[in-house]
């Protein structure tokens, strides 16, 4: 199965969510972002933590210079994605760049589950409106209905009004947008996890003290809930 983490807007947490999903779902990872944030995560995973790297790929033409990834020629991308499409035993997470391109649209077409992280704010609602236009345009060209699951990410849960406004907006756009039940909070745990090359669930599991465990517990629980939600949507149960 292919889980495509996509949004044309940068800075929404796509790479953070993609890397955590790849670890927790035991999935391969394809980085289409020009910044190669997911590949850098994989590099940190082996260098900083001495852990087994993820099965990580980039597009050959992007000339990524970081270790810990295997290049896929753009002309063979369809064949590569076909290895994962609709295969419940073979998972791939795609980290799509924060821009619109034919390559990124291909990731949308091949995705079995589209996921769009965004923070609860007016600016992010405008970004979602732009992404809806991209989905519609791609749908018109490709003839395939595209619907993405909106993940409220980096949310300050002390401001429930902003979260409710985003939920209300998404609920009013059922053709292209569907709201995830999971809400990811605004916590430093995700930044710490990225720098160590681990998922927040790994950090929580490895914590030596109760205080350290509490630092990562809520974030780990949220990611576990998100993974469960995706599995259920793909018909894979728990």
Q: What's the pLDDT tens digit per position in 181-190?
A: 999 998 899 9
Distance, CA of 224 to CA of 150 (rounded, Å): 17
- Express each pLDDT in 30-50 by its tens digit: 999 888 999 999 999 988 778
- Express each pLDDT in 88-106 by its tens digit: 889 999 999 877 788 889 9
Backbone angles phi, psi at 230, to 5 degrees: -65, -45
Distance, CA of 196 to CA of 212 (rounded, Å): 15
Confidence of residue 56 (pLDDT cuts 50, 70, 90): very high
Extents of the domains making up the chain = 2-233
Q: What is the pLDDT of residue 187?
A: 87
Report whether 114 contacts 17 (CB < 8 A): no
Fold type of domain 2-233: Rossmann fold (3.40.50)
């Amino acid at each position: 199965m292919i889980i495509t983490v996509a949004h044309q807007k940068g800075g929404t947490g796509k790479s953070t969510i993609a890397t955590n999903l790849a670890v927790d779902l035991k999935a391969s990872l394809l980085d289409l972002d020009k910044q190669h944030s997911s590949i850098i995560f994989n590099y940190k995973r082996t260098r900083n933590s001495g852990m087994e790297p993820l099965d990580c790929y980039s597009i050959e033409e992007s000339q990524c210079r970081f270790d810990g990834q295997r290049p896929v020629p753009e002309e063979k991308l369809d064949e590569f994605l076909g290895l994962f499409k609709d295969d419940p035993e073979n998972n791939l997470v795609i980290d799509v760049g924060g821009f619109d391109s034919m390559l990124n649209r291909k990731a949308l077409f091949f995705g079995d589950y589209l996921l769009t992280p965004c923070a609860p704010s007016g600016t992010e609602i405008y970004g979602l409106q732009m992404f809806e236009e991209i989905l519609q345009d791609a749908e018109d060209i490709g003839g395939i209905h595209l619907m993405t699951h909106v993940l409220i990410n980096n949310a300050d849960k002390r401001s429930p009004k902003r979260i409710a406004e985003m939920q209300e907006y998404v609920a009013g756009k059922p053709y292209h947008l569907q709201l995830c039940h999971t809400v990811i909070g605004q916590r430093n745990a995700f930044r710490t996890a990225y720098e160590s090359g681990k998922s927040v669930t790994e950090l929580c599991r490895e914590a030596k003290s109760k205080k350290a465990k509490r630092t990562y517990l809520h974030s780990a629980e949220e990611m576990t809930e998100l993974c469960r939600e995706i599995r259920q949507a793909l018909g894979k149960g728990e």
